[in-house]
Structure 1
Amino acid sequence: MVNLEHLKEYLENISYFSDSVITGDYIGTNQKRIKLKIVFPYHFPVVLPKIYVINLDELNLFIPHLEYDGLICYTPSNNVIFDRSNTEVITIIALKKAIKTLEDGIQGVNESEFRKEFIAFWDRQKNLQPIIFFASANDEIKTLEIFENNKDIIINDDVLKNKEAMYRFFPTNTEKSDSMDTLYLPLRSKNKVLPPNPRKGWTKKKLLNIVRKNCTQAKKAYFDKWINKKNDKGKLLILKIPISENNEVLIGYWLNATKQSIKKYTGPISPLYVRRFDFTYLLERTSGEHSFTNLNICIVGVGSVGSKLSNELANLGVAKMTLIDPEKFEADNLFRHELGVDGIKYGKPKLKVEVLQQDLEKKNPYLEVAVESMDILDIISSDPNYFDQFDYSFICIGDTMHSLEINRFFSKSNNKVFYSWVEPLGIGGHVLYIDYCKKGCFQCLNTDPNTGNIISNRSSLVKPGQTIEKTLASCRSAFVPYSSLTSREAAVKTVELFHKIVYKEITKNSVLTWLGDFKNFKDIGYQFSDRFTKNKNYFPTVESNFINNKCEICGVKP
């Protein structure tokens, strides 16, 4: 229990309403009596007390951080650390913060916070009608199309990828509608539009004034022409309001102005809750990085590493991807592959690239995936310029001889290529980045620096001469043993290096080596390479000093 005497410095008429509720009056600097209620949650003091303004309707307070039900948001809700041992101190500090929040609002000190909480205030309006938005939220004024899916109203434009995304979210019963005349209008970036008071909303006059004062002359002329147009449709207006850099809100209004212009319309205007499904917004809900959205990449080999890499790249925002792999998805792949049982339904294996394409596009509605069910060596034989269309290529096949041949092919090009492979039993892995305009290539790692002979990969963590392979019943089932955790880490490390390359944090051809769990490897009795023994305390490392003068491709020609 809190001693009420200690709260009298801040409140009048203090009393316990119940064991978990204290009430009292705070006299604001505006000389108004603000009735407060301090509620102690069941898990107090692990959970901070909630403080409400009881007489909110009487006061007609409209200030930042004051919720519709009177709750004062006096502190961030996540990861607040405090000493739970003194409940009285916690209560006093909470009360002081709540009072400061009120006073900052009353005195107009934090008016800018209104804009940061624009949607929070907007969404508190009564009778808010939801719509779903897929169109590109750019800076172009434009008319939009209306679609209906059962009771859902969907807004879209004529951009193909947005239409495709809409049909992936709503694959059935989505039909175009002519029921409304819809306009999308972006306001100036430097605007000072504040959210409406949820109890009052905006009038039609207020809405029109906000638009006219906060858009260019060209957009204003377009808007005036639109509101003066008469037709048999209702009017739907979507406004984009920039709040700050990389922060914008979309709001909307519906006006049932049939057979008359908006200018002469005297009926109600209905606010809309815009549920954003547009690509830019969804990307901003992650790291908000746009450097990857226009890249066209390909992945060669969509086994355990390549399949997981495809998902990581899609989640990064890559919007165009080609998958290359001739193999079918077998039950043997199930426990370390990104795909599940859909790849082998009814016991009929399907091509990895086709099943993964369906899986990726299902999970990432803005991702465009193309596939080639061919061996990469067949592709480069038949079409030597095939890989020129890609900004980056990722080779995840794990086979050294194939990789050396692919490296030889790329050495005659200007392509940018990542090679990603793992070590047996999950002891680690490597990612090699090569810009073929520069020195350093895959063969540099497989060339003896003294003799120039082809040898085991010099970056390897395993001592050469050991066969680390597992078979089940026959040699046809031989495979290199490692777990799904290893392939997941390989994919993550590949994306990490890719990220640094795209942002030019690394500009040289480089090899990244990372360690996994090597206890099992050691317990079985396998031997580590000299590189592992000398550097195990320094991994992960990114090295660019692997250029080999004896390399047939990069070395000094005699």
Structure 2
Amino acid sequence: MEVNLEFIRKQVLEMDQTLIRDFNPKDDFDKEKYSGFEAMAEIDVLICEEPTTLTVGFPKRFPNVLPSFYDDENQFGSIPHKLPGGLLCFTRIDSLLIDTRYPSSIVLNCLEKVISLIESGITGENQNDFMEEFEVYWIKKSFLDIYAHIDTSNERVRELNLWSKNIPENDFFIAASEKKDDIENLEKLVKHLFKIDISNANKYRCFYIPLKEGTFLIPPLDEKWSFSELKTNIMSNLTEENLKIFNRLANRPVKSTSLEYIIVGLPTPNGNVALFGFGMTGNKIPFKSHKKNKETQKQLHPFILKPKDMSVYNAKINRWHPSHLIGRSGGHIQLNDKHILIAGVGSIGSEIAMRFAKAGVGKISMVDNDRLEFGNIHRHVLGSDQLYYAIEEVPLMQKSKVFGMKDEINRKYPFSKVEAFYKDILTVPEEMDMNKPNFDLIIVAIGSPNTEMELNRLFQGLPEPPPTLYTWVEPLGIGGHTLVTLNGERKGCYQCLFKPDEIEPIFNRSAFAQPFQDFSKSITGCGSSFVPYSFLDSERSAILTVEAGIKILMGKMQGNPLLSWKGDPSLFEESGYKTTIRHSFDSGKLEETKYLYKDSSCPVCSLEGRDTSSIAN
């Protein structure tokens, strides 16, 4: 669609508005400078009660795409959110709804934000935004890309390993942990993530320098910082302790490479840390020697003794430390030091394991003694590529679910530590200490009530049991459940769901399906029987369980509730099955009654029935 500036001009000037004093389309403009724009105009406005002219660019898809505004004459100097070239960043496109019926109103609404931004910059009201946008400005002047694995919560100056690898059309830089013991694991991780082998790459010295809280730096806007500016801005904003650490490390000579690198952590007012970096080289490198033999000469850091003809190259820092990746994607960095155990990694358990890894749980242990089959893959996290081991001597070696899950989690989320145990869950309490703090949370997703009741008795008898969740689905999409136990109290457990009746056999009182109905299906006889439910049911129960688990790990859930979700019962009822009264409860009623399952005479968790001989005082 062609942008009709005359039409917009006429509408704007005829509207009852006070922002635009005049609107003048530009017949000719620099297509290279203003690439992507169909038309340009100059508008006269008042900013801080002074007459001012701004340039407006209209993209081809306007009004579906917002116009852009420029301070072409640099009338306002250096203010936040103004990029080199004068572009004023006044909004994020996804934060503004566009009513395309009124293109002139769109211009006015955008202009109102632009004027507010400029006036805040002139008065200094938004000076802190320089800090929030520091990385954006720095990147504009960057020559290098460094992929950095840095824990910014560690506020001490430290030396990093930095490797440079020449790859087609570019140099690849990796900066990471300074610990020598981590190098081998780091090389494997880099190869896994970036598909690059750094074992034979060039290695250089690199420092991570966190600046002190309250540091205020205006980023380089038009020109790069000189070496002197760079050094002053960094060294004058170190804590006394970090200054001592840096001087000690930097005074330690290294073998001459003629290149040095620094990555700086800048605390921002919003509580984050901006990262920027640079490389330094000079024609005459400073040396220190204790002997006359030139082979013993070693390079000093340029911040200690500046070489002549010093060159500085700004570097964009691309983060890949898990604390940044998890926080950025909605995970919880507080979960990084948590250890969970998942018993059963079938359709539900596999979804739970993957979601906890995605949430940022640091260590996941899984127990299962089942192997993956073709019949599993359409409601399991693992696909057909995890069915068999690739072993030449033993073709068609079927893979266990736990080892398949370990491979899949390591592939997708390599920062999670995963342990796999191919064994019966009932043997695990005999072989390892299940108490806190060895585990922070246990999830039981095996779908076998008899085994789950036995596990419940074992866990209830531990001296310091971790919170334990039981989760399962019901047939044909009717619903699913997650039971929280041992979350700060022992009252309320899995056995409570099976309160005995004098007349009928025990049954799960949380169920939506009436008891004693046969839901198993078979395709080729008894050996192929299964309970019919879909991957969607598994995912819904997994989500319910993981949400509860995260709340527990972060101390945001109290007590032992029974949590349930309800699905569409039409297929269930069409198949001739019957529901319980509990299925008639709406979500409010389910929430209201989530603690009523508890059995005051439960033989496992009640004070009367509990066997206290196995529980430590």
TM-score normalised to structure 2 length: 0.83
Q: Structure 1 residues 179, 501: closer, same or farther in 2, change over 3 A? A: closer
What's the C-alpha RMSD, in Å, of the aligned pairs?
Answer: 2.8
Q: Structure 1 residues 223, 543: closer, same or farther in 2, change over 3 A? A: same
Q: 1:239 aligns with which of 264, 267, 272?
A: 264
- Give 3-state SS (helix, strand or coil) of 1:253's partner: strand
Question: Contact 2:512 / 2:580 at 8 angstroms: preserved in 1?
Answer: yes
Q: 2:217 aligns with which of 184, 193, 213?
A: 193
Tell me which residue corresponds to 1:250.
275
Which aligned segments of 4 or more residues in structure 1 are displaced greater than 6 angstroms? Answer: none
Deviations 1:258-296 (A, max 9, x none): 631413224121111111001111122023523211111
- Give 3-state SS (helix, strand or coil) of 1:78's partner: helix
Deviations 1:11-36 (A, max 9, x none): 568234377332245676697x9653
Q: How does 1:308-457 map to 2 (within 5 A)?
A: 308-345=351-388, 348-380=397-429, 382-383=430-431, 385-386=433-434, 389-413=438-462, 414-415=464-465, 416-435=467-486, 437-448=489-500, 451=502, 455-457=506-508
* Distance in structure 2 (CA, Å) of the matches to 1:370 and 1:523: 43
Tell me which residue corresponds to 1:204.
227
- Give 3-state SS (helix, strand or coil) of 2:454's partner: helix
Tell me which residue corresponds to 1:48.
66
Q: Structure 1 residues 411, 92: closer, same or farther in 2, change over 3 A? A: closer
Tell me which residue corresponds to 2:336.
293
Q: 2:539 aligns with which of 484, 488, 499?
A: 488
Tell me which residue corresponds to 2:520.
469
Matched AA of 2:96:
V
Q: 2:190 aligns with which of 142, 161, 166?
A: 166
- Give 3-state SS (helix, strand or coil) of 2:481's partner: strand
* Distance in structure 2 (CA, Å) of the matches to 1:539 and 1:546: 11
* Distance in structure 2 (CA, Å) of the matches to 1:387 and 1:283: 28
Deviations 1:218-263 (A, max 9, x none): 2113334555565513211111111035411111111114631413
Tell me which residue corresponds to 1:2.
8
Q: Structure 1 residues 220, 278: closer, same or farther in 2, change over 3 A? A: same
- Residue 314 (structure 1) shift: 0.7
Tell me which residue corresponds to 1:259.
285
Deviations 1:339-389 (A, max 9, x none): 111122585521111111011011002011011000112333x42635652
Question: Contact 2:492 / 2:599 at 8 angstroms: preserved in 1?
Answer: yes
Matched AA of 1:469:
S
Deviations 1:424-467 (A, max 9, x none): 1111111011117521111111122x549861111011101101
* Distance in structure 2 (CA, Å) of the matches to 1:542 and 1:202: 64
Question: Contact 2:331 / 2:358 at 8 angstroms: preserved in 1?
Answer: no
Q: 1:153 aligns with which of 156, 167, 173?
A: 173
- Aligned pair 1:17/2:69, yes or no? no
- Residue 325 (structure 1) shift: 0.7
- Aligned pair 1:99/2:118, yes or no? no
- Residue 148 (structure 1) shift: 3.8
TM-score normalised to structure 1 length: 0.91
Question: Contact 1:512 / 1:541 at 8 angstroms: preserved in 2?
Answer: no
Q: Structure 1 residues 356, 132: closer, same or farther in 2, change over 3 A? A: same
Q: Structure 1 residues 110, 379: closer, same or farther in 2, change over 3 A? A: closer
Matched AA of 1:47:
V
Matched AA of 1:53:
D
Moved more, 173-182 or 360-369: 173-182
Tell me which residue corresponds to 1:38.
56
- Give 3-state SS (helix, strand or coil) of 1:63's partner: coil
Q: Structure 1 residues 309, 179: closer, same or farther in 2, change over 3 A? A: closer
Tell me which residue corresponds to 2:151.
136
Gaps of 5+ in 1: none
- Give 3-state SS (helix, strand or coil) of 1:335's partner: helix
- Residue 322 (structure 1) shift: 0.7
Give the paired residue count: 551
* Percent of residue pairs identical: 26
- Give 3-state SS (helix, strand or coil) of 1:543's partner: coil
Question: Contact 2:347 / 2:535 at 8 angstroms: preserved in 1?
Answer: yes
* Distance in structure 1 (CA, Å) of the matches to 2:602 and 2:497: 9
- Give 3-state SS (helix, strand or coil) of 1:196's partner: coil
Matched AA of 2:274:
V
Q: Structure 1 residues 393, 453: closer, same or farther in 2, change over 3 A? A: farther
Tell me which residue corresponds to 1:89.
105
Q: Structure 1 residues 534, 29: closer, same or farther in 2, change over 3 A? A: closer
Question: Contact 1:432 / 1:442 at 8 angstroms: preserved in 2?
Answer: yes
Q: Structure 1 residues 81, 172: closer, same or farther in 2, change over 3 A? A: closer
- Residue 87 (structure 1) shift: 2.2
- Give 3-state SS (helix, strand or coil) of 1:235's partner: strand
Matched AA of 1:15:
P
Deviations 1:35-77 (A, max 9, x none): 5332223332232222223345xx6932211223432222232
